[in-house]
Amino acid sequence: MYDAPTPETRLTQNTLKITARGVQVYYGDKQALKDVNVDILDNTVTAFIGPSGCGKSTFLRCLNRMNDTVASARVEGEIMLDGENIYDKRVDPVQLRAKVGMVFQKPNPFPKSIYDNVSYGPKIHGLTRSKAELDQVVEDSLRKAALWNEVKDRLNEAGTGLSGGQQQRLCIARAIATSPEVLLMDEPCSALDPIATAQVEELIDELRASFSVVIVTHSMQQAARVSQKTAFFHLGSLVEYGDTSHIFTNPSDPRTESYITGRIG
Amino acid sequence: MPILLLIIVLGVLAIAGFILGRRRALASVEGNTRRLHSLPNYYAWHGAIMAFLPAMAVLTLWLIAQPLIIERQLSDFFPAEQFENDSQRILLMADVRRVAEGLDVAVAAGALSNDDAANISADGTIRDRLATVGVALGADVTAQVLEASQAYRKLAATGAFWRSIVALIIAVAGLFYALRITNGDFRARNRVEAVILGVLVLASTIAILTTVGIVLSMLSETIRFASMYPFKDFLFGLTWQPSFQGNSELGLLPLLWGTLYISLVAMIVAVPTGLFTAIYLAEYASPRVRSIVKPLIEVIAGIPTVVFGLFALVTVGPFLRDWFAVPTGLGSSGSSVMTAGLVIGVLNIPFISSLADDIINAVPQSLRDGSYGLGATKSETVRQVILPAALPGIVGAILLAASRAIGETMIVTMGAGAAAKLDLNPFEAMTTITVKIVSQLTGDTEFNSPETLVAFALGMTLFVITLGLNIFALWVVRKYREQYE
Ligand SMILES: Nc1ncnc2c1ncn2[C@@H]1O[C@H](COP(=O)(O)OP(=O)(O)OP(=O)(O)O)[C@@H](O)[C@H]1O
Ligand SMILES: [Mg+2]
């Protein structure tokens, strides 16, 4: 066994960003996640795949403690971000979420103007010193999210007046405007046409240079295209986690193989 | 046949229509419901409706029309000039009705036979004989009134007889018609839906018609007022000094000022408190706290305003006087704008908090998630996302509360006094439009003087103010709707 170093093996030398150990999530009495262990690397795109209802969104929401806002949810186990347990009492979830941004499964623009939607994060975190700088951040974010050309003349119109796919890109722009260290994206392309999807995938690839990106997707092709690491969830457990090329060509678990070849899910 | 019995009979016919309609529909398709155009119950309802509704409608019209027709017929008994004058005619008819009812009671009690009642003459005995069965007649009964009332009894009896006959005939006819046209192809569902639509439209028109009626009646009295008192002086007069000997000064401005001033104080108290309460309950309170605090606050809304008035009179007024007004030299009266304003404000807190709480809860959770997901704190989320999203509803709630504050009467009477004054000092006694409406209309005053009629002009003013508020509320709501949806 002597493989030439592939891009993937080089990536494993990237620093660890997030490590999850023994994560269990309950909604009331119902267990949604069972004993999940994952290492998420810096400057890497990690894809979560798996059939509907298997707990991908739930796990994603653990990574920035969004489950705190669900009254019935209870999280056990340990999730370390840069070596610090984010479920520690001393950690302020508000600061954590500024570092770990999120794009939700359903587009949820604020009932504000497009400009205000994007500038929301930079404003509350005081990231810019002048209006000009803020304008620049808004423009950059919208450009990266492949929305700028469509909205540059109507920045003062309501974000809720955009089409579903435009709203989703607006939410992406909103999330990257805060310049997080980790970006969690829950099916960011489910409402996008192929062109916008390609643009967002390009963006994800760019973001990898500076952030760590976690993306939930139902599209095997997308996972294969954009990610370096893939985790396959099934019925609340993490079945298999490894290099994307490995998972898609040579899965070690039969459930993974049936899923990616379309036999379950 | 008495009305109640008649209605019960109509109800029975309706039930018969229900059962027969269904049975006939089923029979027409040999029990195979799939061949019916509508579900069997629609045929049943169609039968019931046809038996009941037309008859009931005719009955209602009859009940409205009969007194008018009888009145017209009785005009023969009285000199024409008496009958032309509105108020005299109303009095006469009241007398006639009263004597007629008295005779009815007497007959029912056995004190008179039916013939006696029809032939009794207008000597002194009628009052005594009716008194023995417990019917007290006010003035002397004139021969005219007695004759008229006997005629009235006869007409009323005939009317009642034909009323029952006609209603029953229509009900039975409706029932047979419904049964005749019932068969598998008949579109009973469409008919029933049309009737439901009619009922809904009727219900909504009743509210509108009532409003229109109120406005028209107030308007006509206001116009009468304007013909007796210069309307310009009413609108722009700076003094309010009614005197029933005449030459009153009926200036609106002191009352309007008192109304707006007291409402302003009330809103300054109620809006922030109510809104903060709502935000706490909706965003911060745990479910347990919420389930206790919310009903407790809503208890306030159930307290009658008179009790609040007492509280203003006995507690708040003296407290403000002794601790604020007197020490600062601003006044020496327990009744003041401040007293009434504070208490009305407290009264309105649950109103605003409860409405705003519902509105805030209706803001989708995904918006909160979006904001928290960007690292916003709770208060940032509330201020920048939730309140803007809930704003139209909140503005509506506030304006509703403002209308209530403007219309409040009891607390003002007891807390702010009845002195009409134009003053900036919130520790002075002042009064409002509503209080003056009440005081101008109570007491033995002639209904034709500007001092009384001004109440309608005041009511009209109040109506215009609240209407303006509501239009403004609608405008705000629409403006934000367009922007956010
Ligand atoms: N707020 C909640 N309350 C109760 N149960 C929940 C809640 N959210 C998710 N669940 C349950 O947890 C399980 C995992 O849900 P999750 O949303 O994580 O699935 P998913 O993998 O993201 O599915 P999809 O691909 O359809 O988005 C499901 O069985 C779901 O019913
Ligand atoms: Mg999901």
Contacts of A263 (CB under 8 A, 6+ apart): none
Domains of chain B (ranges plus CATH)? 3-186 (no CATH), 240-480 (1.10.3720.10)
Mean pLDDT for the stretch of residues B166-176: 95
| Chain A residue numbers touching B485 (CB-CB < 8 A) | 158, 160-161
Residue from A61, A63, A81, A124 whose CB has the most chain B CBs within 10 Å, to mutate: A124
CB-nearest to B373 from A102, A111, A160 is A102
CA angle B469, B472, B477 (to 5 degrees): 125
CA angle B394, B399, B404 (to 5 degrees): 125
Task: Tell whether ligand 1 has an atom less than 6 A from the beta carbon of residue A247.
Answer: no
* Interval between CA A48 and ligand 1 midpoint (Å): 14
Query: Would you call B13 exposed, middle or buried from its count of C-beta atoms within 10 A (0-12, 13-18, 19+)?
Result: buried
| Chain B residue numbers touching A102 (CB-CB < 8 A) | 373-374
Residue of chain A whose alpha carbon sits nearest to that of B388: A111
Rounded distance between C-alpha atoms, residue B469 and residue B398, angstroms: 10
Q: Per residue in B281-335, pLDDT tens? A: 999 998 899 999 999 988 888 899 899 999 999 999 999 999 988 888 888 888 8
Question: How many Cβ atoms from other residues are within 10 Å of residue B240's Cβ?
Answer: 21
Dihedral pair phi/psi, residue B103, rounded to 5°:
-65, -40
Q: Are B120 and B166 in contact (CB under 8 A)?
A: no
In this prediction the ipTM stands at 0.88
Task: Tell whether ligand 1 has an atom less than 6 A from the beta carbon of residue A72.
Answer: yes
Say whether pLDDT at B112 is over 80. Answer: no
Rounded distance between C-alpha atoms, residue B184 and residue A83, angstroms: 77
| Nearest ligand to the CA atom of A217 | 1
Answer whether A120 sits within 8 Å of B287, measured CB to CB: no
Task: Tell whether ligand 1 has an atom less than 6 A from the beta carbon of residue A106.
Answer: no
Answer whether A124 sits within 8 Å of B366, measured CB to CB: no
Rounded distance between C-alpha atoms, residue B412 and residue B316, angstroms: 13
Mean pLDDT for the stretch of residues B38-65: 93
Give the DSSP H or E segment for B454.
helix B450-484
Ligand 1: atom nearest CA of A233 is 21
Tokens describing residue B424: 């900036």
Q: Are A39 and A243 in contact (CB under 8 A)?
A: no
Answer whether B370 sits within 8 Å of A111, measured CB to CB: no
Rounded distance between C-alpha atoms, residue B102 and residue B141, angstroms: 12
Does residue A74 sit in helix, strand or coil?
A: strand
Residues from A in contact with B at Cβ < 8 Å? 64, 66, 69, 71, 94-99, 101-102, 104, 106, 108-112, 120-121, 124-125, 158, 160-161, 171, 174-175, 178
Among residues B57, B115, B61, B122, the alpha carbon closest in space to that of B95 is found at: B122
Task: Tell whether ligand 1 has an atom less than 6 A from the beta carbon of residue A120.
Answer: no
Mean pLDDT for the stretch of residues B111-116: 73
pLDDT one digit per residue (tens) for chain A, 265 residues: 344 444 444 444 578 899 999 999 999 999 999 999 999 999 999 999 999 999 999 999 999 999 988 889 999 999 999 989 999 989 999 999 999 999 998 899 998 899 999 999 999 999 899 999 999 999 999 998 989 999 999 999 989 889 888 999 999 999 999 999 999 999 998 888 898 898 889 889 988 888 899 999 999 999 999 999 999 999 999 999 999 999 999 898 999 989 988 766 5
Identify which has the larger pLDDT, B13 or A71: B13
Residue A76 has what pLDDT?
Answer: 93
Contacts of B369 (CB under 8 A, 6+ apart): A66, A69, A104, A108
pTM: 0.76
DSSP assigned state of A17: E
Residue B339 has what pLDDT?
Answer: 93
Mean pLDDT for the stretch of residues B165-182: 94
Mean pLDDT lowest for which of A184-198, B299-313, B353-367, B445-459?
B445-459
Query: B288 touching A, CB under 8 A?
Result: no
Residue A9 has what pLDDT?
Answer: 43
CB-nearest to B373 from A66, A109, A112 is A66
CB-nearest to B380 from A66, A95, A124 is A124
Answer whether B374 sits within 8 Å of A121, measured CB to CB: yes
Query: B214 touching A, CB under 8 A?
Result: no
Task: Tell whether ligand 1 has an atom less than 6 A from the beta carbon of residue A33.
Answer: no
CA angle A111, A114, A119 (to 5 degrees): 100
Residue B88 has what pLDDT?
Answer: 76
Q: Per residue in B371-402, pLDDT tens? A: 999 999 999 999 999 998 888 889 888 988 99
Task: Tell whether ligand 1 has an atom less than 6 A from the beta carbon of residue A56.
Answer: yes
Residue B190 has what pLDDT?
Answer: 92
Chains A and B: how many Cβ contacts under 8 Å? 80
Q: To the nearest whole angstrom, how far is the Cα of B296 from the nearest Cα of chain A?
A: 24
Residue B478 has what pLDDT?
Answer: 77
Q: How confident is the model at residue B139 (pLDDT cuts 50, 70, 90)?
A: low
Mean pLDDT for the stretch of residues B173-178: 94
| Chain B residue numbers touching A122 (CB-CB < 8 A) | none
Half-sphere exposure of A216 (CA within 13 A, CB side): 24
| Chain B residue numbers touching A112 (CB-CB < 8 A) | 385, 388
Q: Which long-range contacts (CB under 8 A, 24 or more apart) does B468-475 make?
A: B469/B399, B469/B402, B469/B403, B469/B406, B470/B399, B470/B403, B472/B399, B473/B395, B473/B396, B473/B399, B473/B400
Query: Would you call B114 exposed, middle or buried from its count of C-beta atoms within 10 A (0-12, 13-18, 19+)?
Result: exposed
- CATH architecture label of A15-260: 3-Layer(aba) Sandwich (3.40)
DSSP assigned state of A243: E
Residue A10 has what pLDDT?
Answer: 47
Question: Tokens 């509703």 — which residue?
Answer: B400
Q: Per residue in B210-266, pLDDT tens? A: 989 999 999 998 999 999 889 898 999 888 888 877 778 889 999 999 999 999 999
Q: How confident is the model at residue B122 (pLDDT cuts 50, 70, 90)?
A: low
Question: How many Cβ atoms from other residues are within 10 Å of residue A60's Cβ?
Answer: 24
Residue B482 has what pLDDT?
Answer: 55
Rounded distance between C-alpha atoms, residue A231 and residue A60, angstroms: 12
Rounded distance between C-alpha atoms, residue B263 and residue B8, angstroms: 51
Rounded distance between C-alpha atoms, residue A217 and residue A231, angstroms: 11
Q: What letter represents residue A218's amino acid?
A: H
- Cα B34 to chain centroid, rounded: 48
**Average pLDDT score, chain B:** 87
Percentage of chain B surpassing pLDDT 70? 95
Answer whether A124 sits within 8 Å of B367, measured CB to CB: no
Say whether pLDDT at B72 is over 90. Answer: no
Task: Tell whether ligand 1 has an atom less than 6 A from the beta carbon of residue A52.
Answer: yes
| Chain A residue numbers touching B377 (CB-CB < 8 A) | 94, 124
Residue A12 has what pLDDT?
Answer: 47
